[in-house]
Each structure stands twice: as structure tokens, then as C-alpha cells.
Chains A and B, each alone.
Chain A
Amino acid sequence: MSDQQEHDERNKIEWMGIDGFLCFLFVFLSAFIGYCLINNVDVVIGKVIPYGIALATTAIFIKYLTEVIGFSKGTMKD
């Protein structure tokens, strides 16, 4: 197997895995938010989405902090 084929195999899109889920998530969020906008669902637009984004970003930030600390230790050693 060539390097290119190995690379392609390793990075294949997993439609039934995380890649497919992330694609579906975008479609779902678009349809769900659209429904809420048309039908005046204030609890979703006014609370769930802003607090949800704040939580998601904070979670990514925490993961980022743990990785940056480990990452910086690695790069400083080099």
C-alpha cells in the first residue's frame, strides 16, 4: 500500500461516526433553530442557545487549556 493510500485510509470520512454526526448536527441545528424562529420559541432562542454556546465554548476552552499545558511542555523540551 502506498503512503498516499495509507493516508487516504487513515483519514477516510466516517459517515457513520463523528464526521457524520457533526454534519447531521449542523443540519439539525439549522432546522431546529429555524423552527423556533418561525414559531417564536423564546426559551430556545433567548436562553438555551446563548447559554449552550457559552457552555460549549467554555468546555472547548478547558480542553484547550489541558492540551496547551501538555503541548507547551513538549515544545519547550525540543
Chain B
Amino acid sequence: MLNGVDNAVILIVLVAVVSIGFYFSKSVNDMESYYLANRSLPWSLVVGTLMASWYGGVGVIGTVGYASVFGLASWFLWSIGAHGVRFPLALWVGPRIHVRSDVTIPDVLRNTYGKWISVIGAVFLFVYCSQVGEITATGIIGEAAWGIDKVLLGAIIVAITIVLTVLGGLMGVAVTDMIFFLFMVLSVSLVFPHIYAQVGGLQGIRDATAADLSYMHPVAGMSVPKATMLILLCINVYADPTFYQRFSASNSARTGRRAMLTCFSIWICFDIITMIAGFIVHITNPDKAPELAYIEMVLDNLPQGFRALFIIGLFGAIISTLDSYYLIGGTTLAKDIYGQLSGKEISDKKLVNLSRVGAVVLGIIGLSLAFRFTLVYDAIAFMSSLWMSVAFAPVLMALMYKGKKTPMAGMLSMIVGCVAFALAKIYPVTIPGFGELEPLLLGLPLSFLFWFIGNQIGADINADKLIIS
């Protein structure tokens, strides 16, 4: 557990980072500067904010937990596969987003399918932005670090997140993201060689897991349906609002593309560290929850003061992810739900203030839901699967399909995807030889199928406009 020195270091660093967020709030004077940092983020800021917002608390301790269960196949199947499927996003889809004037997912939906499809999408997007899994993760970290009540700790983290989001907008978020990410990467990376040597390296892990030969086999430890499901969840990034925002905020399409390609190489290396850490806790603490055992192991191996930086890094990763989504969720509530339903022209100042209110609402929703989930990954998988079943097909087709796109295509795709997901969740389907069908594996294909069926009905609302291809 952390001592007084560690806690003092945490307090000082937190005050410093919040002050930085406050400093950058001075540059926020309209919606463009609040949400897109005036479309001027350079390569290093885009790399930092992409890495930090996507490798959140779930990204670190969730990866440790999953790797401890599935062994070496986690890296060979899940990690390589998950990053591999994102290459088309960086190379072709991202640059198309950067050139568009519609910078949010509801913008894309409105311009392609009309107002009501956009509002429905915005409601689901708002819920998705609550990111309850990240708050659930704070409970595990808090228990290992201080042994304190998880709801109290969750409330503190949410409060800090809201302050950062409300004050600084994207510029504040991008600046603080990188600081948190540095702490996390340094502490996780620098403690790793020591704990790796303690177990005798890879041969030591192989010897300790010799009873289960599949554990250290490159592919045998994870079933094909499980790997498919995990990789499928990773393509969620094609409909992820933070990606749209970061790509649009970068100072050019080329900057966004290169920042993302850089992230892939860093992630594939960072993955192997967190995954082997999962193998190590699997053999050193087989009876304990792997996420909890990992944090305790790292705290035991770091000197005081440095332990604080590790905890700040982990909480920072959570705050980085949360503040990114709160910023987008708040903007979605203000601009895409309230703005569209009111039908009035709303001033930039009012939009920014409403976005701030939206961030607070998201914090309250997240806190009230987060601790209903026992496992961090349950919360993430549920939210991501629901969002993908509803929005993945209509958003991707809006961006990439060059032919006609009708409002009915968007409507049917969303409704069928949502209903199929809900039914498969409520009434689980088991297929012999395959296991239980993940709701996403039903919702996503049906959403695509009904997009094409709906696209045969009605006319393209952009038929008479110049379409940028």
C-alpha cells in the first residue's frame, strides 16, 4: 500500500496537472477551439493523446487480466490482429474524415441520413461516452493502493476528470493526456525487467506453466470464436468518436495518419509488456484476481515516491480516457441532441457551456452504473458491443460507400442492429461446436444486411449535392 510520501507526491502532481488544464482553458473561446483545438494539433500531441485516450485503465489492467487467462495467444492473435485491422483506418478512412466539414459522428449521420437518424445515433453515442468500465477499474486500483471504498475513489476520479474537461476542452485534454501517459509507460516499462528476471524469463514462465502446454503456445491458448470476438471489438475504433475528433483536430490528414501509424508500433511493444506481466501474476498469484495481483506486485517492487507515479500513471490513463469521452459526450448532448431537437441557432458560448453540463451529466451516469459490474471487461464489452451493433454499419457506409445512401438504410441498420443485440443478450443462443453466440456477432452482420435492404428504399438526400469522394 501507499504511504504518506507517496500520497504527497500524488497530491502535488495532481494539482500541477489540473493547473496546466486551467492554463490552457484561457485559449478556449469558441466551439472550434474547445472541441477541435482549432484543428492545429501537431504530430507529437496527436500521438500522445491517441495513445493515452485509447490505452486507458482497462487497456492496462484489463490486458493483464486477459493475458493471464489466455497466455501467449493473447499477443499473437489478439494484439497483432487488433492493431492489424486498424491499418485501413489510419491509411484511408482517417484522411477522409479530416477533409470533411462534419467532424462528429452525429454530423456524419445527419449529413448522410438526415436529422432523426443523427439524433438516435447521438443518444447511443452519449451513453457510450459514459465509459463505465474505466470507473469500475478505479475500484480495483484503489483497493490495491489504499484499501479505500471504491465508490468514494470513483467519485474523486470523476470529479478530477470533469474539472479537466470543463476547464480546458480538447487542448487541455491533449496536453494533460501526454503527461499522464508518460508516467504510466515509464512506471510499467521500468518495473518490468525486474519482475521478469524474478520469474526466470520466458523459460521460467514455460517451466511454471508446463502442466498446460497451450498456455505458452502462440495460438493454442485462445479459441477462434474468442479471438474473433476480441478483434471484432477492436474494429470498434472505426466508429469511435475520439478517433474522429483527434483526426479532425490534427493539423493535416498526413499528421493524423502518421501519428496513428506511430501508435501501432508503440502499442504492439507495450502490449507484450502488459501481457507478460499477466503471465507472471498467473504463476506467482494464481488464486488472486490478476488485475489486483499485478498492481500489488508492481507496488511491492517500486521504491516509495516512484510507486506514486505508477498509481498516477494508471489513474492518469483512466482520467485520459474518461476526459476524452466526456468532452465528446458533452458536445454530443449540447450540439447533436439539444441543438437539433430545439431547432434553434445556438451561440458558440452557449454550446461550450452546455457541453460542460453534458460532461457533468456523464460523470453522474458513469458513477451510478460503474459499480454494478463486477468485472471491468464486462462493462466495456457491453457498451462497445451495443454501440457497434447500432452505429458501426451506418457510420462506416456513410464514410466509405460511394453510391446512393438513403435515410431508410441508416434507420433499418440501427434498429435491427440494436434489436438483434438486445435479443441475443436477453435470450443467449448456443451453437454446437462454437459455444455461446456473442450478441455482437449477431447484431453487426444483421446491421450491415439491413443497411443494404434499407438502401433500396427511398432516395439519397444528397443526390443533388456535390459528393466529395
Chain A residues 13-55 with CB under 8 Å of chain B are: 13, 18-19, 22-23, 25-26, 29-30, 33-34, 37-38, 40, 42, 45-47, 49-54
Q: A57-B266, A67-B42 are in contact. Are A50 and B99 (CB under 8 A)?
A: no
Q: A45-B272, A50-B190 are in contact. Are A4 and B468 (CB under 8 A)?
A: yes
Set B27, B48, B268: member contacting A29, Cβ < 8 A: B268
Chain B residues 43-65 with CB under 8 Å of chain A are: 43-45, 47-48
Chain B interfacial residues counted at CB < 8 A: 58
Give chain B residues whose Cβ lies under 8 Å from the Cβ of A50: 189-190, 192-193, 273
Give chain A residues whose Cβ lies under 8 Å from the Cβ of B87: 23, 26
Chain B residues 187-218 with CB under 8 Å of chain A are: 189-190, 192-193, 196-197, 201-203, 206, 218
Q: A45-B196, A72-B24, A75-B38 are in contact. Are A25 and B265 (CB under 8 A)?
A: yes
Whole-angstrom distance from the CB of A69 to the nearest CB of chain B?
Answer: 11
Give chain A residues whose Cβ lies under 8 Å from the Cβ of B38: 75, 78
Set A56, A64, A78: member contacting B48, Cβ < 8 A: A64
Q: Are A42 and B40 in contact (CB under 8 A)?
A: no
Give chain A residues whose Cβ lies under 8 Å from the Cβ of B202: 37, 40, 42, 45
Chain B residues 152-178 with CB under 8 Å of chain A are: 171, 175, 178
Set A11, A25, A56: member contacting B95, Cβ < 8 A: A11
Give chain B residues whose Cβ lies under 8 Å from the Cβ of A45: 196, 201-202, 272, 276
Whole-angstrom distance from the CB of A32 to the nearest CB of chain B?
Answer: 10
Q: Are A42 and B201 in contact (CB under 8 A)?
A: yes
With A and B bound together, what is the CA distance between A37 and B276 in angstroms? 10
Contact with A along B76-115 (1 / 0, CB 8 A): 1000100100010001000100110000000000000000
B181 contacts partner chain A, Cβ-Cβ < 8 Å? yes
Q: Are A64 and B261 in contact (CB under 8 A)?
A: no
Whole-angstrom distance from the CB of A9 to the nearest CB of chain B?
Answer: 11
Q: Are B48 and A72 in contact (CB under 8 A)?
A: no
Chain A's interface size range is 35 or more
B373 contacts partner chain A, Cβ-Cβ < 8 Å? no
Interface of A is mostly: helix
Give chain B residues whose Cβ lies under 8 Å from the Cβ of A61: 48, 178, 182
Contact with A along B1-43 (1 / 0, CB 8 A): 0000000000000000000000110110000010000101011
Q: Are B257 and A19 in contact (CB under 8 A)?
A: yes
Q: Are A75 and B197 in contact (CB under 8 A)?
A: no
With A and B bound together, what is the CA distance between A68 and B189 in angstroms? 25
Q: Are B270 and A53 in contact (CB under 8 A)?
A: yes
With A and B bound together, what is the CA distance between A50 and B188 in angstroms? 8
Q: A7-B99, A22-B262, A57-B181 are in contact. Are A46 and B269 (CB under 8 A)?
A: no
With A and B bound together, what is the CA distance between A23 and B42 in angstroms? 20
With A and B bound together, what is the CA distance between A32 and B196 in angstroms? 19
Whole-angstrom distance from the CB of B249 to the nearest CB of chain A?
Answer: 12
A60 contacts partner chain B, Cβ-Cβ < 8 Å? yes
Give chain B residues whose Cβ lies under 8 Å from the Cβ of A33: 75, 268-269, 272
With A and B bound together, what is the CA distance between A40 and B83 in angstroms? 24
Give chain A residues whose Cβ lies under 8 Å from the Cβ of B257: 11, 13, 19
Q: Are A68 and B265 in contact (CB under 8 A)?
A: no
With A and B bound together, what is the CA distance between A33 and B75 in angstroms? 10
B252 contacts partner chain A, Cβ-Cβ < 8 Å? yes
Whole-angstrom distance from the CB of A70 to the nearest CB of chain B?
Answer: 9
Interface pairs A-B: 10 shortest CB-CB: A22-B261, A75-B27, A42-B201, A64-B44, A50-B189, A11-B253, A46-B196, A40-B202, A54-B189, A63-B44
Listed by A's residue number, 29 A-B pairs whose Cβ atoms lie within 8 Å are A4-B99, A4-B468, A18-B258, A25-B265, A26-B87, A29-B268, A29-B269, A33-B268, A33-B269, A33-B272, A46-B201, A49-B272, A49-B273, A50-B189, A50-B190, A51-B190, A52-B269, A53-B269, A54-B186, A56-B266, A58-B186, A60-B178, A61-B182, A63-B44, A64-B44, A64-B178, A67-B42, A71-B40, A75-B38
Sample of 11 more A-B contacts, CB < 8 Å, known A19-B258, A26-B268: A26-B265, A33-B272, A37-B76, A40-B203, A42-B201, A46-B196, A46-B201, A51-B189, A61-B182, A64-B48, A76-B27
